[in-house]
Chain A
Amino acid sequence: MIPLGYFTFLSAFLFCVGVYGALTRRNVIGILISIELILNATNINLVAFNKYLGTKDGLGEVFSLFVIAIAAAASVVGLVLIIAIYRNARTLFTDGLTLMKE
């Protein structure tokens, strides 16, 4: 049987990969992809703790469902924003997006 720590290790690794991607990507879509990875890392933690420590009403799984729904809403709004930005600025690179400075 796998101890609980291994799942937190996996989740920490996924989280750090997401942080690295969010810090390095120049493309805004790449940053959104990294944020999805981070949200999945939290979900692994919630489900693993729910399985190993046990909750009476499955709180961990309920909250993972909420996180999935929030992630879906966030990525919908994010991608629409990206398309609106692209329509106006003709670029998606973070160092080219200086609309607010000008």
Chain B
Amino acid sequence: MNEAVFYFIAGCVCVFSVLAVTQRDIFHCALWLAMTLLSVSGIYFYLDAPFLGVVQILVYVGGIITLFVFAIKLTAKIGYKGIRQTSKQWALALFIATLLLCILFRAFSTHPWARIVSNVEPTSIAQLGRSLMINYAVPFEFMSVILLAALVGAIVIGKDKR
């Protein structure tokens, strides 16, 4: 039963991600990306990380997908059906990606930790909050500076100069 849930979520992730990079219409791609991110949040819930799952849904599906949809709609004229969306070297890219996948699979399947089964306590949300605010407070503060810089940069770049 537990395994079946994992296989279902993993299948969803695989199918939706392939659809997100192969669909013609870029708007459909953004919607398939939203489905992929929802399935990945399912993986987080499965891995006993409910806080991360919720953050994934809030930040990605709630925030980033909205931004993508806005950007696609603001530049809608290039989304015509007739224009090809993939470059001419797609066969070479497919070969490179498949080769990379084969190398990674081979490396993972020969390594001894690939068969490890978990026997440790999952991180509680209280522990996560403590380590975020105490052990890793400096990176956390740097993160807020980066977010502020991104905010200011977005406003400056996006401002219409005319």
Q: A residues bordering B, Cβ < 8 Å? A: 1-10, 12-21, 23-27, 29-30, 32-34, 36-37, 40, 43-44, 47-48, 50-55, 57-62, 64-66, 68-77, 79-84, 86-87, 91-95
Please tell me if the beta carbons of A16 and B104 are within 8 angstroms of each other in the complex: yes
A contact patch SS: helix
- Interface mask (B61-97 → A, CB under 8 Å = 1, otherwise 0): 0011001101110110010000111110110011011
Kindly provide the distance from the CB of A83 to the nearest chain B CB, expressed in whole angstroms. Answer: 6
When distances are taken between beta carbons in the complex, the residues of chain A under 8 Å from B51 are: 61
Provide the bound-state CA to CA distance between A59 and B131, in Å.
Answer: 8
We find that the number of chain B residues with CB closer than 8 angstroms to chain A is 87
Closest 9 CB pairs of A and B: A5-B114, A54-B120, A21-B21, A58-B123, A73-B150, A23-B93, A57-B131, A20-B97, A12-B104
Please tell me if the beta carbons of A40 and B37 are within 8 angstroms of each other in the complex: yes
Please tell me if the beta carbons of B157 and A52 are within 8 angstroms of each other in the complex: no
Known: A32-B68, A53-B120. A83 touches B75 (CB 8 A): yes
Please tell me if the beta carbons of B64 and A36 are within 8 angstroms of each other in the complex: yes
Kindly provide the distance from the CB of B21 to the nearest chain A CB, expressed in whole angstroms. Answer: 3
Please tell me if the beta carbons of A30 and B26 are within 8 angstroms of each other in the complex: yes
Kindly provide the distance from the CB of A18 to the nearest chain B CB, expressed in whole angstroms. Answer: 7
Kindly provide the distance from the CB of A29 to the nearest chain B CB, expressed in whole angstroms. Answer: 6
Provide the bound-state CA to CA distance between A9 and B115, in Å.
Answer: 12
Known: A16-B98, A54-B121, A72-B59. A33 touches B105 (CB 8 A): no
Residue from B85, B98, B108, B158 in contact with A9 in the complex, judged by beta carbons closer than 8 Å: B108
The residue of chain A having its C-beta at the shortest distance from the C-beta of B143 within the complex is A69
- Interface mask (B108-146 → A, CB under 8 Å = 1, otherwise 0): 110101111110111100011011100110010001001
